Amino acid sequence: MSHTTKALMTNWMRGLAMLGIVIGTVHIPRAAVANGAGLPAGTYTVRVADEALTVPAGQSPDAEKWVEFVQGGKVVAKEVASVISAADMPSIAKGPARAPKNGTLLQTLKGGDYFRVWINKDGTNYLVNLAIGKPVVK
């Protein structure tokens, strides 16, 4: 990826975060857990949050973003999404199952313990893993 392309992508991602731009819609068929909080079954609008995320040294500041699951105009839960460019996707995702451009794919991962929410917004991929079930109350 060229320096210019990286700079454009970085600016675009920062713009999304500042505006809380919607990246997709997903239907979660069973209760799940996002960032330790309950996410009831239902249909959600997913948007990039404006909250900053601390990333490890050496990792791009745009490699992960908080996303919010919104229903009825209210944030129900949030979770960290891995953000992967279209150029990097072939080296990361193996196999035919991918979210279509400007679409969403929900996968139940091996073992049935997690959902993967895969959103492709204009070629940028957002991958969110959610534990299936209800949060553990301590």
* Pairwise CA distance, residues 47 & 34, whole Å: 14
Maximum distance among all Cα pairs of the chain, rounded to whole angstroms: 48
Strand 32-34 relative to strand 37-39, pairing: antiparallel
Task: Write the DSSP assignment of 74-129 as a string of letters.
Answer: EEEEEEEEEEE-TTTHHHH--SS--PPTTEEEEEEPTTSSEEEEEEEETTEEEEEE
Q: What is the pLDDT averaged over residues 99-125?
A: 92
Read off the pTM. Answer: 0.80
Q: Is residue 111 predicted with pLDDT exceeding 50?
A: yes
Mind listing the pLDDT tens digit for each residue in 48-90?
Answer: 998 888 877 888 878 899 999 999 989 999 999 999 988 888 7
Mind listing the pLDDT tens digit for each residue in 3-29?
Answer: 676 666 555 555 544 457 899 999 999
